[in-house]
Chains A and B, each alone.
Chain A
């Protein structure tokens, strides 16, 4: 009973510490680009380079003009940042917060929120650049209102996944290595730079069971000015509920242990 209270207490305390992780997240983002010339524009440059390269290559492969898929690809890569690419950070979340965890009493959820807020800042910074670029190219679209629901949902899912991966990855260091290549694999099997309609038959059916694909569409479709279809919402909320139960269970069982695993 005490452990269950402790698990909920951990999350509530983490939420209450919002002023602290908002401040720290911002400071650490600024510090990351300290003494660089481009500053946060490094993130943008990265996104643009990958999106242009993929559009050129896949446009040529499919025999269409590269501009045709550019908006889809660049928003796909951007959305992937909060829909899946965070996994490699998530595996290291407690290991890299180890110093802080051993000097100050903080809830586990605090470290998750801090990591995810930094991830969100990256997303927001790239989003602004994305609109500028798409606007200049005449490909821009006004985001739909669904983003206001889907974005918090996707971020909440990301926090839960991070908690679920972060705890065992602190104990078993093989998980970090596994995640590193799993993220790369997921990047290819999730429709980020290709569209599910190009993938028919059995393979398409199997790939449609990938929850990351649905979570990704929940961010991408509104950004492209379309409403996400019902199936994405169902997968999104379903994933959220299942992950919440798993994450709470793990917090109940292992919350006190994590600091000893460092």
Chain B
């Protein structure tokens, strides 16, 4: 089965509503005066988080999204994951997609690690049998041992990252979208995670990784996109990007 990710001129706008704009009374009042008041008063602020981004990924590509805080990495990842629909442009995804974007997202903190593995499996509509057959592998990879029986609220950030990453990669998916929370793991786990992402290529899959970790980019990815204020400022192979950084 072939998979691909294709973005064409994707632009994403956030509308930030102030307290005033969220009030119905003001909206009704503004209707009466033609609706211009909002903009004049700056109650709705439009933030262009991603502007005119296009790229094409095919089987075996591992893309790193780099850039400063607030450069639009996470927003772009959310567009790719289908959580936000872009204001302009097209997103074309072929193949099944798994996204692990926010740290701890989708985990039930009251439930145990094991229950959460089953829950994540269920959320992704994976048959119960398949989930049960992968539990050992997930526990093994995450190195949580007996802690997996405790509620997730007792886990450290690194332990949660391990659990989420193990679930994300152990259940089959063609496209993996990950944000920088992976960095919460310790050095040995980051190494282990990089190795696993590398092995995804053998299975002809796509990885998209938002990161600040230079070493991670170098080890895992073959393509790099650097964002600045939502625009692409660099797009090319990892070698070129590293060469550029060294100057």
Bound together, the chains give a CA A23 to CA B125 distance in angstroms of 11
A8 at the interface (CB under 8 A from B): no
Inter-chain contacts of B81 with A (CB < 8 A): 104-105
Inter-chain contacts of A260 with B (CB < 8 A): 14-15, 84
Inter-chain contacts of B111 with A (CB < 8 A): 31
Bound together, the chains give a CA A163 to CA B111 distance in angstroms of 30
Chain B positions 15-39 with a Cβ under 8 Å from a chain A Cβ = 15, 17, 22-25, 27
B123 near A104 with CB under 8 A, answer: yes
* A257 CB to nearest B CB, Å: 8
Using A99-B105, A103-B102, A260-B15 as known contacts, say yes or no to A20 and B123 having CB atoms under 8 A apart: yes
Inter-chain contacts of A104 with B (CB < 8 A): 81, 83, 99, 106, 123
Complex interface bits, A1-37 against B, C-beta within 8 A gives 1, otherwise 0 = 0000000000000000101100110010001001000
B84 near A31 with CB under 8 A, answer: no
Using A20-B125, A174-B23 as known contacts, say yes or no to A105 and B14 having CB atoms under 8 A apart: no
Inter-chain contacts of A178 with B (CB < 8 A): 24
Inter-chain contacts of A134 with B (CB < 8 A): none
Closest to A174 in B: B24
Bound together, the chains give a CA A104 to CA B27 distance in angstroms of 30
A181 at the interface (CB under 8 A from B): no
Closest to A17 in B: B125
Q: Which of A24, A34, A100, A259 contacts B110 (CB 8 A)?
A: A34
A261 near B101 with CB under 8 A, answer: no
Complex interface bits, B33-61 against A, C-beta within 8 A gives 1, otherwise 0 = 00000000000000000000000000000
Inter-chain contacts of A31 with B (CB < 8 A): 108, 110-111
A103 near B24 with CB under 8 A, answer: no
Using A19-B125, A260-B15 as known contacts, say yes or no to A102 and B83 having CB atoms under 8 A apart: yes
Bound together, the chains give a CA A31 to CA B102 distance in angstroms of 24
B24 near A259 with CB under 8 A, answer: no
A103 near B85 with CB under 8 A, answer: no
Bound together, the chains give a CA A259 to CA B99 distance in angstroms of 17
B215 at the interface (CB under 8 A from A): no
Inter-chain contacts of B17 with A (CB < 8 A): 171, 261
* B8 CB to nearest A CB, Å: 15
Inter-chain contacts of A17 with B (CB < 8 A): 125
Task: Give the interface residue-count category, chain B.
Answer: 20 to 34
A156 at the interface (CB under 8 A from B): no
Using A20-B122, A100-B106, A260-B14 as known contacts, say yes or no to A105 and B24 having CB atoms under 8 A apart: no
B122 near A259 with CB under 8 A, answer: no
Bound together, the chains give a CA A27 to CA B123 distance in angstroms of 12
B236 at the interface (CB under 8 A from A): no
Inter-chain contacts of A102 with B (CB < 8 A): 78, 83, 102, 105
A172 near B83 with CB under 8 A, answer: no
* B210 CB to nearest A CB, Å: 14
Chain A positions 67-105 with a Cβ under 8 Å from a chain B Cβ = 99-105
Inter-chain contacts of B82 with A (CB < 8 A): 105
Using A105-B82, A259-B83, A260-B14 as known contacts, say yes or no to A174 and B25 having CB atoms under 8 A apart: yes
Bound together, the chains give a CA A256 to CA B15 distance in angstroms of 12
A103 near B105 with CB under 8 A, answer: yes
Chain B positions 73-115 with a Cβ under 8 Å from a chain A Cβ = 78, 81-85, 99, 101-102, 105-106, 108, 110-111
Inter-chain contacts of A19 with B (CB < 8 A): 125
A172 near B27 with CB under 8 A, answer: yes
* B21 CB to nearest A CB, Å: 9
A175 at the interface (CB under 8 A from B): yes
Bound together, the chains give a CA A19 to CA B126 distance in angstroms of 11
Spell out A's residues near B (CB within 8 Å): 17, 19-20, 23-24, 27, 31, 34, 99-105, 171-175, 178, 256, 259-261
**Could you name 19 residue pairs across A and B whose Cβ atoms are closer than 8 Å?**
A19-B125, A20-B125, A24-B122, A31-B110, A31-B111, A102-B78, A103-B99, A103-B102, A104-B83, A105-B81, A171-B17, A172-B23, A174-B22, A256-B85, A259-B83, A259-B84, A260-B14, A260-B84, A261-B17
Spell out B's residues near A (CB within 8 Å): 14-15, 17, 22-25, 27, 78, 81-85, 99, 101-102, 105-106, 108, 110-111, 119, 122-123, 125
If A23-B122, A261-B15 are given as contacts, then 14 extra A-B residue pairs at C-beta distance below 8 Å, sorted by A number, are A19-B125, A20-B122, A31-B111, A100-B106, A101-B83, A102-B78, A103-B101, A103-B105, A104-B83, A172-B23, A172-B27, A173-B22, A174-B25, A260-B15
